[in-house]
Amino acid sequence: MSQQRNGQAAGAPDGAGFPDLPEATVARLPEYLRALHHLAETGFDTVSSEGLAAAAGVNSAKLRKDLSHLGSYGTRGVGYDVALLIAQIEHVLGLTQRRTVALVGVGNLGHALAGYGGFGTRGFRIAALFDADPGRVGEQINGLPVHDIRRLPEVVAAEAISIAVIATPAEAAQQVADQLVAAGVTSILNFAPCVLSVPDGVDVRKVDLAVELQILSFHEHRKSALTTLPSHPANGRVKIRPALNGEALAT
Amino acid sequence: MSQQRNGQAAGAPDGAGFPDLPEATVARLPEYLRALHHLAETGFDTVSSEGLAAAAGVNSAKLRKDLSHLGSYGTRGVGYDVALLIAQIEHVLGLTQRRTVALVGVGNLGHALAGYGGFGTRGFRIAALFDADPGRVGEQINGLPVHDIRRLPEVVAAEAISIAVIATPAEAAQQVADQLVAAGVTSILNFAPCVLSVPDGVDVRKVDLAVELQILSFHEHRKSALTTLPSHPANGRVKIRPALNGEALAT
DNA sequence: AGGCGTTTGTGAACGTACGCACAAACTCAC
DNA sequence: GTGAGTTTGTGCGTACGTTCACAAACGCCT
Ligand SMILES: NC(=O)c1ccc[n+]([C@@H]2O[C@H](COP(=O)([O-])OP(=O)(O)OC[C@H]3O[C@@H](n4cnc5c(N)ncnc54)[C@H](O)[C@@H]3O)[C@@H](O)[C@H]2O)c1
Ligand SMILES: NC(=O)c1ccc[n+]([C@@H]2O[C@H](COP(=O)([O-])OP(=O)(O)OC[C@H]3O[C@@H](n4cnc5c(N)ncnc54)[C@H](O)[C@@H]3O)[C@@H](O)[C@H]2O)c1
């Protein structure tokens, strides 16, 4: 499910397609990992699929199948060794060494991200900040200096950065993405509300707050439609009334 | 697909299940809407499925099927009327009147969200801010006062708020969610890295930045494994090496 | 050592989603 | 009015994801 993905994405690199880990499973592993860390802190040494599933907010059968994909070692009649499972998942996700991340666009949102302390515990280190505004370059945030965007290639190479976060306005995002790719970045997390086009081999994930709210709005709309007309709704199926021509239409 | 969903979510409210819009389609409509607005600003009156699909970053067949679900009016040989399609999608998403949103937790991230101007153009209005910290209550952000969290029921009722955003630390999130539900909120967007448990009929979507980065990390890991061993990879399939017992294990 | 309760791992059935490919529907030019 | 070119809407095959349900595996108690 997920997000933007271009052409034949990484995961099926050549013709002889190999399935390896299902994408849906990959998307859930981080959630399992978070739940496991929480359990470990709470003093658990082992956990059953039922328990972990509850902590991660999923079905236990799904959890077991997900874990079985990574050849996991649970013990029947007992459950999973929490510490071992953490190590396994971190290994699969490539978190055994902390990954360095670049953040481009230190505005409203970028400031919040740069100042966020929660990355360290999840396997990442923000290694560099960039902006195009000369007034912002040189500023220090959380002990990190803001670099001019033109120093991107240099710093990306020096810090061995492979992941970048874009927090610039949408108009600048494509240009920034191009610069990032040129500098050698191969994974991008995009907060700007626009589609990025990147070469094959580069992964893009997008987070758009308004999209999330609009999805919620849809369900909200649905709920209220149901409670307003409690009985005999036509034939038991909610029909979408087509908007009349010109209705709410910005001519 | 997407995110946390509890029990039988809204969308299949009673026994006589009705399919209506596929969830995957709902998740893409906001992206189409954004692309359409962009096209409208650029001066387009009509757009082909091919063109709109490119602007939204999806396959054109998928786009057509999605639009066909809402009984959409395209014209063969021509394409879709941009303004009409915007009105249709906004209608389906329940955006015909602007929805009011509450934001709880005006810290690092909350400040950025409260100061963000991009909501208005996407159908939402942040109608109220809340925090538990007495030092923050009373502060004004973007002309909006920060209310004490205890005034939640009162303000939610007065402003007819049905959607809320949680931007508090994870430890407080469940408690805040309970208060929101008690106050009548039925949709929650959660930025705290934790699972929320809510009654049936309440929708929760979660945004976790670290999860997104970890998914990127997985693909990054995969890519480097492939380029490091360029030839004969065992049997053409990447095997996940199980972590040895105790390896990288915090005993 | 053996039996019992527990929990994993997975085969199989089901449901959803994707994308191709094509007929039907439409415009426009002449 | 007719034919050529374009584009929608959708039927269909395939792939993917989810869930059930159960046998095999394990610990523990006696
Ligand atoms: N603020 C939020 O809460 C929020 C929420 C959702 C989405 N977004 C999106 O995130 C992005 C950033 O939002 P914001 O509120 O921080 O905007 P902002 O205007 O406050 O910050 C943008 C920053 O990017 C910098 N920038 C512009 N062009 C650049 C370039 N070419 N190279 C490098 N840096 C450049 C600017 O100098 C500025 O510092 C926007 O696309 C916005 O739509 C923001
Ligand atoms: N800052 C980021 O960039 C970022 C990124 C990803 C996720 N997050 C998550 O978002 C959440 C907020 O992050 P932050 O950096 O803004 O934290 P923060 O500590 O800066 O802000 C949290 C705010 O919540 C308020 N709060 C605490 N308990 C409350 C309660 N019971 N009711 C109402 N308000 C309460 C606090 O007073 C504070 O103002 C955290 O869960 C964090 O993990 C933040």
Q: Give residue-wise pLDDT tens across range A116-133.
A: 999 999 999 999 999 999
The whole-number pLDDT of residue A158 equals 97
A126-135, A176-185, B153-162, B232-241 — which is least confidently predicted? B232-241
Mean pLDDT of A64-92: 95
Reduced to 3 states, what is the DSSP secondary structure of residue A125? strand
The whole-number pLDDT of residue B236 equals 32
pLDDT score of B7 more than 80 = no
Strand C close to B57 by CB, under 7 A: no
State the Cα–Cα distance between residues A218 and A241, nearest whole angstrom: 14
How far does the CA of residue B76 sit from the closest CA of chain A (Å)? 18
| CATH number of the domain located at residue range(s) B99-207 in this protein | 3.40.50.720
The whole-number pLDDT of residue A189 equals 98
Chain centroid to Cα A181, Å, comes to: 19
Nearest CA to A92 out of B38, B51, B218, B26 is that of: B218
Of the pLDDT bands very low, low, confident and very high (cuts 50, 70, 90), residue B42 is very high
pLDDT score of B69 more than 90 = yes
Name the CATH architecture for the domain at B23-92: Orthogonal Bundle (1.10)
Mean pLDDT of A103-107: 97
Q: Are B163 and B99 in contact (CB under 8 A)?
A: yes
The whole-number pLDDT of residue B228 equals 59
Task: Name the residue ranges covered by the structural domains of chain A.
Answer: 23-92, 99-207, 213-251
State the Cα–Cα distance between residues B30 and B92, nearest whole angstrom: 10
Q: Is B135 within any annotated ligand binding site?
A: no
pLDDT score of B212 more than 70 = yes
Mean pLDDT of B149-177: 98
What tens digit of pLDDT does each residue of B76-95 get?
999 999 999 999 999 999 99
Mean pLDDT of B130-159: 97
A101-115, A223-237, B105-119, B177-191 — which is least confidently predicted? A223-237
Residue whose Cα lies nearest atom 44 of ligand 1: it is: A109
Chain centroid to Cα B149, Å, comes to: 24
The finding on whether B110 has its CB within 6 A of some atom of ligand 2 is yes
State the Cα–Cα distance between residues A52 and B1, nearest whole angstrom: 20
A14-28, B129-143, B227-241 — which is least confidently predicted? B227-241
pLDDT score of A56 more than 90 = yes
The whole-number pLDDT of residue B190 equals 98
The whole-number pLDDT of residue B184 equals 97
Across all residues in chain A, what is the average pLDDT?
86
The whole-number pLDDT of residue B243 equals 41
State the Cα–Cα distance between residues B114 and B129, nearest whole angstrom: 8
Nearest CA to B103 out of B147, B133, B135, B143 is that of: B147
Q: B23-41 and B60-69 helices cross at what angle (nearest 10)? A: 110
How many contacts (CB atoms, under 8 Å) link A and B?
285
Mutate to test the interface with B, among A165, A213, A226, A237 (most CBs of B within 10 A): A213
pLDDT score of A180 more than 60 = yes
Q: What's A5's DSSP letter? A: -
Strand runs labelled E in chain B: 46-47, 74-75, 79-81, 99-104, 124-131, 140-141, 144-148, 163-166, 187-190, 203-206
pLDDT score of A10 more than 70 = no
B192: which 2 tokens? 């705290």
Mean pLDDT of B193-218: 97
State the Cα–Cα distance between residues B115 and B62, nearest whole angstrom: 36
Percentage of chain B exceeding pLDDT 90: 79
CB-proximal positions of chain C, under 7 Å: 5-11, 16-21, 24-27
Nearest CA to B128 out of B88, B158, B92 is that of: B158
pLDDT score of A102 more than 50 = yes
Strand arrangement of the beta sheet that strand B46-47 belongs to:
B46-47, B79-81, B74-75
Q: Which residues contact A228 (CB under 8 A, 6 or more apart)?
A: none
Nearest CA to B115 out of B83, B146, B143 is that of: B143
The whole-number pLDDT of residue B244 equals 35
Q: Are A182 and A167 in contact (CB under 8 A)?
A: no
Mean pLDDT of B120-137: 97
Mean pLDDT of A84-98: 96
How far does the CA of residue A65 sit from the closest CA of chain B (Å)? 16
Across all residues in chain B, what is the average pLDDT?
86
Q: Which residues of B touch A57 (CB under 8 A)?
A: 4, 6, 195
3-state secondary structure B67-118: HHHCCCCEECCCEEEHHHHHHHHHHHCCCCCCEEEEEECCCHHHHHHHCCCC
Question: Is beta strand B79-81 parallel, antiparallel or unpaired with respect to B46-47?
Answer: antiparallel
Q: Are A141 and A129 in contact (CB under 8 A)?
A: yes
Q: Are B106 and B80 in contact (CB under 8 A)?
A: no
Q: Which residues contact A231 (CB under 8 A, 6 or more apart)?
A: none
